[in-house]
Amino acid sequence: MLRDFISNATLLIASFSMMGVLFKDKPLRFSSPLSSKLLWGLFFGALGNILMLFSIQINSGSIADLRHLAIVIAASFGGYIPAIIASVIIAIGRFILFGFSNAAILPAIGALLIGLVCGAISPLRLSRTLKAFVMNLCALLILSIVFIIKIDDSQTLKTLLTIHYLISLTGGFIAYHFFVFVVDSNEAQYKLKDTEERFRLIAEYSSDMITMHNEKAEYIYISPAVKEIIHYEYPELLGKKMENFIHPEDVERTNEMFDKALHEGVAGSTYRYRSSLGDYVWIESTLKSVHFEEDGSKKVIIVSRNITERKLTEQKLQEANELLNRLSYMDGLTGISNRRYFDETLSNEWANSIKSNSPITLIMFDIDYFKKYNDTYGHPTGDFCLQTIAGAIKSKISDNSDNTLCRYGGEEFALILPSTKTKDGMKVAQHIQETIQSLRIPHTSSKIADTVTLSIGLATIVPNSSAIPQALIKMADSALYLSKTNGRNTITAYQ
């Protein structure tokens, strides 16, 4: 008997496995199409007939089988339609396999009743496991009635029912849970296949380039958009590392980006990629790692797009902003820095001098009798005079990038000299004076010379946190005032 039971259980498992493979694209659900339910019902009916052929010998005069489990499983997973079909086929099979007789009518009617009862139970709002158990009990009850009608010997009946309940409940438990395993496996494969098809569909028609990489950052999948974005054919990239195509300056950053995605899940970056044409295009990528349970490996999916046009637009905008920024700090007439730039630079240099405890010198100078110059030669010539003086002084101090020349206002200029003592500032002031004198710009209305001259004042201070930059301006301006009152065309250092 145990051998027969094991044979029946093995038969059930093998049949379910085969049906799972044959119908993996036609899963059995309550929501399955009618055609799928009909197909499953036919196969469950055939399985019931096969189980009748492999009956379990209980004693010399009594046999039992597990045909009803085919109906129970059909109803549990597919509802009343496959259950009814299976029961009808099993009932017909009873006559075909064992001949039409009075003894065959009762088991056939029992099979039909089991189909009807299980079909009626299937819509109930119970868990699938509980419904299967209740259906099995109901089927056993119907079979018990058939046995009671057919068997007169009470002792034989008792033994038969006890053993039949035991093998049916045990077999039902094994059959149900194995079929759950088959269904769940098919569901997982179906979902995986559906996901893969969706991914491939999205990848095939996406305007973005979608690539998949192994843990070494080698290409293992490339979508067709690769032709449009970086002008490569599929085989040209397959199996090669990303870094072989990245701009050398961006390789380290992209490797860090890939490692971050691999270990943290997501990452993103922009970088330059060498196209098949030999030029570099700007690429924006979003990366996400995916864990594959089949082999325990990780893959990184990268969605990339060409942002070269956007980068060029951003670059032009940045250049325009930089130009606008430079213009906002530039004196429009002379081309040197303006008063706004002077104020910010002096404030910054002041702070630097406090940190380094170093001196800062400020030279302020203006053109002697410039109003008379404008009255004599006209404002256009006066503007040219300012431009000439600014250009000459700028060319002399251009070698020292730390010094800052500004137009302070009108005909007045200022020169900031960081880390400069008074005696060095005097040398610079003398050099400026000599430079302007060498230009020999005519100035017939000047009261001190027949060419343009400068009055210069300078001041030096070692700043501290209690002082402010305006103190240095006031000192240099006082020195300039003394140069003017002392006859002009002179240099005065603040004492």
In degrees and rounded to multiples of 5, residue 63 shows phi and psi of -130, 160
Question: Which of 290, 414, 419, 395 is CA-nearest to residue 340?
Answer: 414
Q: How far apart are CA 349 and CA 361, in angstroms?
A: 10
Burial of 392 (0-12, 13-18, 19+ CB in 10 A): middle
Question: Which of 363, 355, 365, 364 is CA-nearest to residue 462?
Answer: 355
| Neighbouring-strand partners of residue 157 | none
Q: How far apart are CA 455 and CA 471, in angstroms?
A: 20
- Of 252, 411, 412, 434, the active-site residue reads 411
Helices within 151-298 (DSSP H only): 154-205, 226-229, 234-237, 251-264
Q: Cα 235 vs. chain centroid, distance in angstroms?
A: 26
Residue 280 three-state SS = strand
Q: How far apart are CA 192 and CA 245, in angstroms?
A: 32
Strands 454-461 and 491-493: parallel
Determine whether 218 is an active site residue: no
Q: Contact, 458 vs 362, CB < 8 A?
A: yes
Q: Which residues are catalytic?
A: 411
